[in-house]
Amino acid sequence: MDTTTFTRLLPLRQRSVACCTEVREPRLTKLQASRLADRLKALGDPTRLGIMDLLAQQEQPLCVCDITPRFPQNQPTISHHLRLLREAGLIETEKQGIWSYFWATDLGRRCLAAAIALE
């Protein structure tokens, strides 16, 4: 084993490494990080994740009356979850008469796929 490899195996406090080494800049801008964090927060709830999965499986928009019975929460709570997903850009909605119809956006589908890949 050469000395470079051996040095990397030592705990940081035992290495003879300068404290001010070159540090790479983060890839994300502050705005990008903020947007991504908002999307992750939106997907960070089991009900919202379930709603996203349900909407992503559909070929046509779903009426809120078709979404609500699939979850143990009541309609106002489901509407709250839908609002958070919409504000994060993960779903879209259209009102037709007294009913609202929802569908997953392309961004929402990609974010859901990324979240599922973490499992």
Closest residue by Cα to residue 42 from 103, 92, 112, 118: 112
Domains defined for the chain, CATH in brackets: 28-117 (1.10.10.10)
Note whether 43 and 111 are within 8 A (CB): yes
Note whether 7 and 16 are within 8 A (CB): yes
Quote the tokens at residue 78.
Answer: 């489901």
**Percent of the chain, pLDDT > 70?**
84
Starting at the earlier edge strand, list the strands of the sheet with 62-63. Answer: 62-63, 99-104, 91-96
At 119 the pLDDT is 84
1-15 mean pLDDT: 59
Note whether 109 and 88 are within 8 A (CB): no
Q: What is the pLDDT of residues 99-116, one digit of tens each?
A: 999 999 999 999 999 999
Distance CA 44, CA 84 (A): 11
